[in-house]
Copies of this chain bind each other. A is one copy, B any other.
């Protein structure tokens, strides 16, 4: 029974809450570690016992949000939940819904003064979903000179490209529009333009 010390849980919770409270008031880059600690009533030294930067704290939230993304694809009753862009029905794509749901959050993730870490977390998330799809759907086999790594990276980041464009329009387009765009792009590309 290897449970985490209660004090650690309490401290982290207090820091999480403090960060959330402050994020409502101002962007992450304007929040200092000292401020978070004051708000959380936690000694500043204690913060450094658990994290190196405020970004580490933010990262813990991201983990939870990534869980939501993964779970979208774990629904057992969903017949086709493939992310593979070669056999993709845009209605099965849950990513844009996921982004929409956590819009507030992704506004931070995509803001320009934030470290690349978060971007990579999203990238890795989509990448691994894609990679799983590609390797599991054996019926669809690729030219064997294509590296699955490069292929997944290409497709994953292409989707994030759409999300960046979406973000830059302040997410004003609907999820449906995004799904349609993706479907149209894939169709267009396949037919050779």
Q: Hey, which bits of chain A sit against chain B, CB under 8 A?
A: 55, 84-87, 110-117, 119-120, 123, 140-143, 145-147, 149-151, 153-162, 164-165, 180-182, 184-185, 187-190, 192-193
Contact = CB atoms under 8 A, between A and B. Distances in A.
B157 A153 contact: no
Copies per complex of this chain: 2
Chain A facing B: main interface SS: helix
Contacts of A84: 193
Contacts of A111: 116
A181 B86 contact: no
Contacts of A123: 161, 164
23 contacts: A86-B189, A86-B192, A87-B193, A112-B117, A113-B116, A115-B115, A116-B116, A116-B119, A119-B119, A123-B164, A145-B180, A146-B185, A150-B185, A151-B181, A153-B164, A154-B159, A154-B162, A154-B182, A155-B158, A157-B161, A157-B164, A189-B189, A190-B192
